[in-house]
Amino acid sequence: MEAEIVINGNVGGEVDWRDHEEYVGRATFTLACTPAVQRNGAWVELPTAWYRVTCWRRLAANVRDSVRKGDAVIVAGRLRLDRWTDESGVQREAYTIEAGWVAHDLRRGASTFRRASARPEASDPWESDAEAERITSLERHEAAAQAQERESDADAEVSETEAVPA
């Protein structure tokens, strides 16, 4: 079974990030959806349904940088029912959503949006801006350390030259 859906709920755990050779990266998280219905004038919560949400490429990197456990989110994507037999021989089923987009649910809280910007020399078109910023910062520190090392080597050469009698 596969259908396009839009669903809202709470993120059930931390986002799991995996580097992936073919698709750059994958982020997965669980989504808990607890519907409520009104019965006899009172709201009653129905059992919680759990979904596994999978994101790929740039969406995955942005989800990794933006979504945290407990966040209220809205997810749109393809719903699949996966079936398998576990190591004990028990038949299992789980719903998986391959996300097309993920957003914070602003009906239930506030969020700050930071637009993805074009980077002059993006090393990877799917990396998030936060990841690009982290990489740039690391590269700057590495370049500074190399420059300092070259300075030390140059100072050492000058000292050796001055120490040699003519």
Beta carbons of 80 and 98 less than 8 angstroms apart: yes
Give me the pLDDT at residue 128, please.
Answer: 58
pLDDT in tens, 32-58: 999 989 999 999 999 999 999 999 988
Q: How far is CA 99 from CA 7, 29, 32, 160, in A?
A: 11, 11, 15, 63
Give me the pLDDT at residue 147, please.
Answer: 76
Give me the pLDDT at residue 72, please.
Answer: 95
Which residue is associated with the tokens 């607890």? 34
Q: How far is CA 124 from CA 24, 56, 61, 135, in A?
A: 9, 14, 11, 11
pLDDT in tens, 54-81: 999 889 989 999 999 999 999 999 999 9
Give me the pLDDT at residue 114, please.
Answer: 81
Give me the pLDDT at residue 106, please.
Answer: 92
Q: What is the mean pLDDT of residues 21-41?
A: 89
Give me the pLDDT at residue 98, please.
Answer: 95
Which residue is associated with the tokens 């808990």? 32
Calculated CA dihedral for residues 136, 64, 70, 107, nearest 10 degrees: 90
Local confidence band at 136 (pLDDT 50, 70, 90 cut-offs):
low
Identify which has the larger pLDDT, 117 or 49.
Answer: 49
Quote the mean pLDDT of the chain: 83
Residue 84 has pLDDT above 80, yes or no: yes
Local confidence band at 91 (pLDDT 50, 70, 90 cut-offs):
very high
Give me the pLDDT at residue 124, please.
Answer: 56
